[in-house]
Structures are given as C-alpha cells and as structure tokens.
C-alpha cells in the first residue's frame, strides 16, 4: 500500500533523512491504525450523520434563521469530512 503524505506533516517529513522519515511514517501509520484513532474517526462520521438528520428536521421561525443553521451545519460537516480525509494516509 502506498503512503499519501498528509499536508500537515509534509514540511516536517521532507526535512528528515531517509531513516528518520521511515520511522516517522511508521509511527504515523501506527497512530492512524490504532483503535482509539479509528473510534475517533467513527465519532466524526457519526457526528456528520447526526448533522444531516438535524438539517432534515430543522424547523426555524424565520428564513434567515433557517439559512444560518443550514450554512453552519454544512460547514461543520465539511470540516469533519476534511479532517477524516486529511488524516488518512492511504493513497
């Protein structure tokens, strides 16, 4: 399996020599594959689903309030999805 360098570690990783780079990548893969990290990601995915259901049930008193809640909800979902995608090392 190839390794996709997450953006948030690419600068630090490029400054390392080959051996240190291999160790860093191994540590990152170990962290990502850890059951605690996977539960954290599942929690993000559950929150995304919760936000989708919340948006479907949204009852607001004004159009402005509705649009504000929808925008906030979608921004949070986008953020969570990007965190999940960014941390995944698999290309």
With b for 16 or more beta-carbon neighbours within 10 A and e for fewer, the 30-57 pattern comes to eeeeeeeeeeebeebeeebeebeeeeee
- ∠49-54-58 over CA atoms, to 5°? 155
Q: Are 43 and 18 in contact (CB under 8 A)?
A: no
pLDDT at position 1 = 61
Q: Give pLDDT < 70 ranges for the chain.
A: 1, 91
pTM (whole model) above 0.85 = no
* Cα(55)–Cα(35) distance, integer angstroms: 30
Where are the domains positioned within the chain? Answer: 7-87
């Amino acid at each position: 399996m190839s390794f996709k360098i997450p953006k948030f570690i690419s600068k630090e990783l490029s400054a390392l020599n080959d051996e240190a780079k291999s160790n860093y990548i191994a540590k990152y893969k170990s962290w990502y594959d850890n059951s605690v990290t996977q539960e954290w990601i599942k929690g993000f995915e559950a929150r995304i689903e919760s936000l989708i259901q919340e948006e479907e049930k949204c009852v607001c008193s004004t159009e402005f309030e509705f649009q504000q809640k929808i925008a906030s909800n979608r921004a949070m979902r986008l953020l969570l999805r990007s965190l999940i995608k960014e941390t995944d090392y698999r290309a």
